[in-house]
Amino acid sequence: MIERYFQTGVRLNWMPPRQVPGPTDGAVIDSPPTVTNPMIYDGMDAELIGNVHATALGLQMRAPIAYNWLVYAPGRTTKRTLVGDVLTGPMSGCPIATWTENGATYVGHVGTIDNAPDVNLRVKRGFSAATGSFAQLSAFSPANAWQQAEITQMRQRFKVMPGFTVYGLITGPGQFYSILMFDFGAGPGNSIGGRGYQRCVGGIRQVPAMSSVATRAMLLS
């Protein structure tokens, strides 16, 4: 399970897959095929120092970290089977859900859009209707795990204040995590076609799953 790698101060060379735009019809679709760029460990950050040494995490310089990806499709819910650890993002308010369908466990990214209440109601209700007969439905909101004030405080520890992104992680056993990453812009040796954007992990938090009842209520709100 890869959650052990996302500790404060871990630097990564990684270009996350992009969102896949399309109709905002609230449909539930299979996660579209996408290129998953390598995620490469690139040392520990000197400005955002955590409490864990890389060797204790089992990380080796320039070693890849394997992951599976669930695409974000605004206005739709993407789904894939929960096999291994699954990352998804970026997160700002979308619920991430798991459920059992025909004997298999699935994970879904309910693709809400900031400041689009009509679309959000459509996509949540579409997902609720599609999963109405499925068992063990639960969900969480990765973005809610972090407060803006604490993110700002960490950003100010860098000489040049970076951007940030929140990602959701669902492990093979079905545990929910929220990962905060700081994003550094492209520069020499840091292009999309080369090493990928440089990132620094701000932290990781396990998030309790909402019950099926609470999940249904959230989807209909």
Q: Smallest Cα–Cα separation from 207: which of 39, 8, 3?
A: 3
Q: Which domain holds residue 110?
A: 2-219
What length does the chain have?
Answer: 221
The pLDDT of 92-101, averaged and rounded, is 95
Q: Has residue 18 got a pLDDT over 80?
A: yes
Q: What is the pLDDT of residue 52?
A: 67
Q: What is the pLDDT of residue 50?
A: 66
Domains of the chain: total:
1
Phi, psi for residue 139 in degrees, rounded to 5: -155, 170
Mean pLDDT estimate for the chain = 90
- CB-CB contact of 97 with 79 (8 Å): no
Residues in Cβ contact with 47 at an 8 Å cutoff, skipping those fewer than 6 apart: 157, 158, 159
Q: What percent of the chain has pLDDT over 90?
A: 71
Is the Cα torsion angle 41, 139, 111, 100 positive or negative in sign?
positive
Q: Which two tokens stand for residue 176?
A: 């929910």
Q: For the sheet containing 68-70, what is the strand order?
A: 40-44, 10-13, 198-206, 176-183, 163-170, 86-91, 68-70
Q: What is the pLDDT of residue 220?
A: 87
Q: Has residue 214 got a pLDDT over 80?
A: yes
Q: Rounded to whole angstroms, how far apart are CA atoms 24 and 10? A: 36
Q: Smallest Cα–Cα separation from 215: which of 159, 136, 153, 158?
A: 136
- Could you report the per-residue pLDDT of 32-77, keeping only the tens digit for each? 998 888 999 998 888 887 666 667 778 888 899 999 999 999 999 9
- Could you report the per-residue pLDDT of 117-166, keeping only the tens digit for each? 999 999 999 999 998 888 899 999 999 999 999 999 999 999 888 999 99
Q: Has residue 188 got a pLDDT over 80?
A: no
pTM: 0.93
Q: Rounded to whole angstroms, how far apart are CA atoms 199 and 169? A: 17
Q: Rounded to whole angstroms, how far apart are CA atoms 167 and 164? A: 10
Q: Has residue 97 got a pLDDT over 80?
A: yes
Band of pLDDT at residue 195, cut at 50, 70 and 90: very low
Phi, psi for residue 82 in degrees, rounded to 5: -85, 90
Q: Has residue 210 got a pLDDT over 70?
A: yes
